[in-house]
Amino acid sequence: MIDELSISDLGVIRNASLPLGAGFTAITGETGAGKTMVVTALGLLLGARADAGSVRSGANQARVQGVWSVDDDGPVAERVRDAGGRVEDGELILGRTVSSEGRSRAAVGGGAAPAGVLAELAGELVVLHGQSDQQRLRSASAQREVVDRFAGEPGLSALKDYQEVYRRLAARQNEYDTIRAERDQRQREAMELRLAVEEIAAVAPQEGEDIELTEKAERLTHAEALREATGGALEALSSDSLDATAFDARALVDRARRDLEKVVGFDPALAPIVETVSSVGFLLDDVVTELSGYLAGLDIESARELEQVQERRSAIASLIRKYGPEMSDVIALEQSAGKRLFELDSDDERVEELSQLIEEDKILLAQLAGVLSERRASAGAQLADAVSQELTALAMPDAKLVVSIQPLAEPALHGNDEVMLLLQPHPGSEPRALSKGASGGELSRIMLAIEVVVAGADPVPTFVFDEVDSGVGGSSAIEIGKRLARLAQQSQVIVVTHLAQVAAFANNHLQIVKDSSGGYTESSVRVLRGPERAAEIARLLSGLSDSESALSHARELLDMALPR
């Protein structure tokens, strides 16, 4: 139930607070005062699309806030907490802002949230009926939903079971059709995958081997240059020449060390220098050892080895071109091929298994469809009787609602039934579809009659009706007021109306007041009681709020509407 609605800068409403609460709230006002902005505000709080055009002229943004009473442990509170909001002592605050540029922001339980969360909560909080919803009642899906709602838990449980099997059957059938349709392609894939595995296994590449081979090929290609360079360097550092006059680096450093050692006793300052020269000699020894080893490792048969390396590189490069673009992709393909081949090779077994499962699901689906159809037929007959009785009270005494349930040619997600609500205008006439047999005013009364009846089986916390009395008047309007008051005994009912006969039955009457004294239209909200309410009822009746005859009629209407 919504306790309070606050609106700022929405349409012609600058700033208004609507105390709502339990029971039946009627919202009235002059044409153009902004009554529909109340419905617009509620729509925004329930996730409706934001429209920059609804922001009041001259304002930067419109703001709407609603305070709801909800169950702390109910599904609404749980979804709010999932969205990062909170419900405190059964109170939930929802908010929405719309900027003049069209940007929209939503708040759920004190936390920012997408507008989609508001839309998710809407189904648990409010049923909103406007002119568009009356038109929706003409659709087959809406009519089927009415019957399913009235069927209550048994019907909804049957529908849930049916839809679970329907979706499973559809998934299995799709897999079956895909395997059958792609069998040739999958066989080709298996053959190509086997050839790839054989080719990769024949080469047996290792991770990083392509890089190692590239480096090795580079080294072998320049083996002679490497040999000459390292040999020359080794000769310069440590010569094997028998020429007594030849000196290499190691001999020169050794000679320098010996010369310094002869005189180091004469000056201690030479000692660290002698030590450094000795260290240089040791370093040269290490370099000579490493160069000798490197030179010894240069294979005399390097040309043959290079040929082998290039052949290996070519084989690996071919694999990378086919199954790459990286060596890791080639290795990954070989590792994953077994699982994929198992899947492809199991096609025949899977097709046979799916075929059996599909037949089992079809049998089960037919059984569940039969249960669902039976429950819809039972609910439809009861709904038709109850709504027809309501229509009699709503000044349609000869009209009857007929619920037609016919089998579909093929099962659908919603069942195997075509559900239609038909209107029989008078006895003996042919029932006709609502889209053809009911006027706008009749649709309003049919919709109200349906909600009054269905609310007993599927209660809703709050109903909002926008111009539910469109196209009716007189005694029909009184009956609509009575039915709304009756609906308000078990749900909160909020009605935007222009009929006194409807507003008189409300226990809470709000008036949207239009003020154009400042050169522009601005509206606010007043709670009407006593004489003020009688004056508004009189205005609705005659257009005159101070006419004695209209006031007398208004008081008479209010007395008649009092609960007995």
In 298-346, alpha helices (H): 302-323, 327-345
As a whole number of angstroms, the distance between CA 258 and CA 277 comes to: 10
Tokens of 466: 């926008």
As a whole number of angstroms, the distance between CA 173 and CA 190 comes to: 23
Averaged pLDDT in 10-residue chunks for the chain of 564 residues: 91 87 90 80 87 86 92 88 89 92 89 88 79 66 89 92 96 89 74 82 83 79 74 80 65 87 86 90 88 73 70 84 84 81 74 92 96 95 92 83 93 93 88 77 79 79 79 75 87 89 92 75 84 91 82 89 73
Q: Which domains does the chain have, with CATH numbers?
A: 1-130+467-528 (3.40.50.300), 531-564 (no CATH)
Tokens of 542: 């005659």
- Edge to edge, the sheet with strand 492-496 lists 111-113, 104-108, 91-99, 61-69, 2-10, 13-19, 522-528, 508-515, 24-29, 492-496, 462-466, 126-129
Supply the pTM of this predicted model: 0.62
pLDDT in the model for residue 244: 45
pLDDT in the model for residue 518: 61
Contact in structure between 126 and 462 (CB atoms under 8 Å): yes
Distance between terminal CA atoms of the chain? 25
